[in-house]
Structure 1
Amino acid sequence: MELELRHLRVIRTIAEAGSLNKAAGRLGVAQPALSTQLKRIERALGGPLFHRDRTGARPTPLGELVLARASMLLPAVSDLQDSARRFAFARDQIRTIRVGGTHGPLLGGLVGRLATAYPDVPVGLHTAWSEAEISALATAGRIDIALIGVCGESPPPGGDALLWRTVGVDPVFVMLADEHPLASQPELELGQLAGERWVSAPGDGCFGDCFATACSRAGFSPATFYETDVAACVHLVQLGSAIGLCRATLPPTPGVAVRPLAGVPLRWRHLLGRLPDAPPEPVADDILGHARAVYQEAVLRSAALRGWLPGHPGFGMAS
């Protein structure tokens, strides 16, 4: 006989009642039938679960062990059932999932996972370079989920109107052409790059200021700093015309070497935002789980980040 949850409930009821006779009454079965069932459960578990005498039934040491595990398992299963019912109900109410995000390595993966997870629900997509624009669309209810990034510990735009959850935290790495003289080094000091031309995607947060501050601490001011879209950034790096700043989850790119910066002068937080109860909590939690799965997949694709993370707590996928 294989142990089932109903058997754990029987054991718990006997322990709470203090006797088989009282437990049988609570369970709505005859006492001899309950005694027979208990013997089968005890055979499956390898020994007696209760000391039984004229005063009642008291757990044996094995019984205490089983009851301790049951006290964790039964509430967990009940919570799982409740959560599943709430999720199924909430999912039935969803008519569309509108995702907005800044261009990045996670957005496409999230949309793809949602389209698979919710095959009967249209998944919309709106992109912009501006984190503030995406947040404003979510605040106005024009998108359901906002996937953005913010520099360091800075708060996301939009104040407290949206609920924000962290998907993951990236160090900011530097990308160079494979032929760059420094590309062979496993880690770079920011000061080694003082004479370079820089390129990065635009944004409306504090990233540019934080980068300038980090350069100042390293003893230089960037001579040239281009802002252009992600594809153009990568192309300029491939040509050797500039070096770029990038989130460490940047997908592997031909002709581009990605290297960490010593001391981690810059970091980037991937955030998922939504209005309260839109979408409902169970669906929102599911979407967050998909976003974190996409982030973990991006980590696994990046050899540089995989090797870097174990020595740097506080980075990687949020718990």
Structure 2
Amino acid sequence: MELELRHLRTIRTIAEAGSLTRAASVLGLAQPALSAQLKRIERALGGALFERGRHGVRATALGELVLERTRIVLPAVSELQREAARFARSRRAAERLRLGGTHGPLLGALVDRLVDAAPEATVTTCASWSERELAELLSEGRLDFALAGTCGTAPPPGTAQLVWQEIAVDPVFVMLADGHRLARDPGELDLAALADEEWACVPGDGCFADCFTAACARAGFSPRRMYETDTASCVHLVQVGRAVGLCRATFPPTPGVTTRPLAGTPLVWRHLLGWHPAAQRPDLAATVLAEARGAHAGAAARSGSYAHWLALHGEEPGFP
């Protein structure tokens, strides 16, 4: 018979109980069955482990040796099991990344960078127009990280439970059809010059629409009409000349569309990465945040109009 961990636990229990009767009760065995098991263990170890007497059992010299080793081996094995379980959980977390995001180019760019950084990971995404919905999914543990944004200095959703770190701050640009009368203007556009236009933007549950309306009021007009729809439809409405679009400065180059900055930067957008602190390792959160900032820098570099604006204002991508 080969010695097993369960045999060491049996020896320890007998020594702690002080009698075979009490040990059998603790182990849930009949005393004859425990006595037979102990004899098999003693044969495997080459001698008696306990002396039996009227008042119970007492460890022999061999028994003391085995008990001393047992006090080392059993805790070490238990710690090994706990460490292996923690490692397995961390590996599963590292092998699966559930990302959420609102509209914009950063989500795809972040997925691309994370796949390069961790090719063994399975990355899934969930897109939503609602920052509040993304915050709820993070709080419920259904997402690991979420890319969201706020208008200006507005607080992000779910701040009581979640961590939100700033990725970058972008000015809000306008999208014009290439044939628009102002598309070839090399400078910044006054918002007032667009007073007669219809507008298009993507929906959201933050304050951006109110901030845009307030910016128009400061420029001396009220927007005629606002089409709230998905990104592809916004681009189409701009391309056919139906509307002027609102976009982050990182909006990628698109056929038939010219992006231009607004004078005075009346609107800005903060890109944020959120997660639940109890659900993520600090090192993983730091890695995803760094990759998100790298994704933003790459998007900024691909936008000629944003690069020109940054050079004009002496800024770096992700100002301030």
Same fold (TM over 0.5): yes
Alignment of 1:116-265 (within 5 A): 116-185=116-185, 186-265=187-266
Structure 2: gaps of 5 or more residues: 1-88
Paired-residue identity, %: 54
Shift of 1:315: 6.6
Shift in alpha-carbon separation, 1:192–1:93, aligned structure 2, 3 A: closer
TM-superposition CA deviations, 1:31-56 (whole Å, max 9, x none): xxxxxxxxxxxxxxxxxxxxxxxxxx
The AA in structure 2 aligned to 1:236 is L
Contact 2:170 2:319 in 1 (8 A): no
**The 10-residue stretch of structure 1 (278-287 or 195-204) with the greater mean CA deviation from structure 2:** 278-287
The runs of at least 4 aligned residues of structure 1 exceeding 2 Å deviation read 89-95, 310-319
Match of 2:271 in 1: 270
Q: Normalized against structure 1, the TM-score is what?
A: 0.69
Q: Normalized against structure 2, the TM-score is what?
A: 0.69
Give the secondary-structure state (helix, strand or coil) at the position aligned to 2:147: strand
The AA in structure 2 aligned to 1:262 is A
TM-superposition CA deviations, 1:63-114 (whole Å, max 9, x none): xxxxxxxxxxxxxxxxxxxxxxxxxx96675241110011211000111211
TM-superposition CA deviations, 1:193-251 (whole Å, max 9, x none): 00001000000000000000000000000011110000000011000111000000000
Contact 1:178 1:255 in 2 (8 A): yes
Alignment of 1:2-13 (within 5 A): none
Alignment of 1:7-22 (within 5 A): none
The AA in structure 2 aligned to 1:259 is R
Larger radius of gyration: 2
The AA in structure 1 aligned to 2:154 is S
Structure 1: gaps of 5 or more residues: 1-88
TM-superposition CA deviations, 1:127-177 (whole Å, max 9, x none): 111111111101111100010111000001113211111111110000100
Alignment of 1:79-98 (within 5 A): 94-98=94-98
Match of 1:100 in 2: 100
Shift of 1:119: 1.8
Shift of 1:273: 0.4
Aligned equivalents of 1:183, 1:263: Cα separation in 2:
18
Aligned equivalents of 2:283, 2:314: Cα separation in 1:
29
Matched, 1:297 2:305: no
Shift in alpha-carbon separation, 1:212–1:93, aligned structure 2, 3 A: closer
Shift of 1:117: 1.6
Aligned equivalents of 2:302, 2:314: Cα separation in 1:
19
The number of residue pairs the alignment matches comes to 232
